[in-house]
Amino acid sequence: MEPLFLLVKMKKRPFFIVSLAVSAVFVFFLLVVFTAGYIRTGSMVVSVGDKIGILEVEGTITDSRRMVEQIEEFRDQNNIKAVVIRIDSPGGGVGPSQEIYSELKQLAKEKPLIVSMGSVAASGGYYLAVAGEKIFANPGTITGSIGVIMSFPNYQELMGKVGVGTEVVKSGRFKDIGSSTRKFLTADRDLLQGVIDDVHKQFVEAISLGRKMPIERLQPFVDGRIFTGRQAKEVGLIDELGTLADAIKYAAKVTGINDDPDLVYPVPEKTNIIDRYLQNTVNHYLGVDFSLTHEIGPQYIWNNF
């Protein structure tokens, strides 16, 4: 009987080993999920219910690609019932600001989009805000700066003093407009003013649409001036004075989620550890952020940031 028992035991062992391996993989997967949840939220509880997505716009708006990806990610997740966008930005390039605004408008058609303003949500930062259905700001938030700016350095006089000059061959009178090595002509200024005026008009039209305010009513406030959050509420540029927590509570209310909703942040962008170390070192000792690319062309930006 003993040899027969050993034979049966050996036949059962492969099944036992496979079962053990499957169980180990399952446990490993759960550990990964719980660890990821803890890192992101500080809690070991993994929620599978309805959630509120949090988007963050910080610093100068120089590129739209990453934010557009995050917006699309939240738009595609069915368990994210509303999105709160936290804006702490003086604005930036016209193109990136308009691209992000366009994607936010599409998101707002499918899910409630609530805006929370931080220290600054000016110019292009405010442009993004008007895509939302309700805007919260702190009483001391700096916002507004509804305008466009374009600047050109001119080194012609300095170059003349050191005996340096340039020769330009061009196909038309305006091909080198904005050159730093020649005089700025009246015709140059008139052409560029037309560009600035049209881009500014696009900004005002977006505000009129988002805030449901006639352009005529907006005219006194779109000359580049800044407002505090409290002043902005008085003229109708924002809806409520409140914090990020207030904006989240409102988003939970309009979607029927409980008062303590689960928050979802976009997956952090992977960065090279060496690049990150060098960037942090330069930021700390020199106060220079090389991650910001130099922007050319018209800007929706508050330059005093």
pLDDT one digit per residue (tens) for the chain, 305 residues:
555 544 445 455 555 565 555 566 555 555 554 454 444 444 333 445 899 999 999 999 999 999 999 999 999 999 999 999 999 999 999 999 999 999 999 999 999 999 999 999 999 999 999 999 999 999 999 999 999 999 988 888 888 888 888 888 999 999 999 898 888 899 999 999 999 999 999 999 999 999 999 999 999 999 999 999 999 999 999 999 999 999 999 999 999 998 789 999 998 776 666 665 666 665 556 555 544 445 678 999 998 65
How would you class 228 by CB atoms within 10 Å of its CB: exposed for 0-12, middle for 13-18, buried for 19 or more?
middle
Strand partners, 53: 83, 264
Instruction: Please give the Cα distance from 27 to 305 (Å, whole number).
Output: 49
pLDDT, position 22 = 57
64 is an active site residue: no
> Under the phi-then-psi rule, with left for phi > 0, alpha for psi from -120 to 50, and beta for the rest, what region is 82?
beta
Instruction: Please give the Cα distance from 54 to 266 (Å, whole number).
Output: 8
Question: Residue 150: CA atoms inside 13 Å, Cβ hemisphere, count?
Answer: 19
Which of 225, 249, 253, 226 is closest to 116 using CA atoms? Answer: 249
If one counts every other C-beta atom within 10 angstroms of the C-beta of residue 107, the result is 21
Instruction: Please give the Cα distance from 183 to 299 (Å, whole number).
Output: 22
Q: Give helix 94-110 / helix 186-211 axis angle, nearest 10°.
A: 10
Instruction: Please give the Cα distance from 130 to 172 (Å, whole number).
Output: 39
Determine the longest span between alpha carbons in the chain, in angstroms: 109
Which of 133, 118, 113, 146 is closest to 58 using CA atoms? Answer: 118
Catalytic, out of 64, 123, 134, 145: 123
Report strand pairing: 226-228 vs 142-144: antiparallel
Instruction: Please give the Cα distance from 218 to 8 (Å, whole number).
Output: 86
Which of 69, 34, 74, 27 is closest to 52 using CA atoms? Answer: 74
CATH class assigned to 40-146+211-301? alpha beta
> Under the phi-then-psi rule, with left for phi > 0, alpha for psi from -120 to 50, and beta for the rest, what region is 189?
alpha
Q: Which amino acid is at 120?
A: V
Which of 299, 303, 64 is closest to 192 using CA atoms? Answer: 299
3-state DSSP call for residue 68? Answer: helix
Catalytic, out of 9, 12, 170, 175: 175
pLDDT, position 273 = 64
Domain ranges for the chain, please list them: 40-146+211-301
Specify the pTM.
Answer: 0.78
How would you class 258 by CB atoms within 10 Å of its CB: exposed for 0-12, middle for 13-18, buried for 19 or more?
exposed
- Our CA dihedral for 133, 138, 142, 148, rounded to 10 degrees, sits at 0
19 is an active site residue: no
pLDDT, position 38 = 45
The answer to whether 108 and 129 are in contact (CB under 8 A) is: no
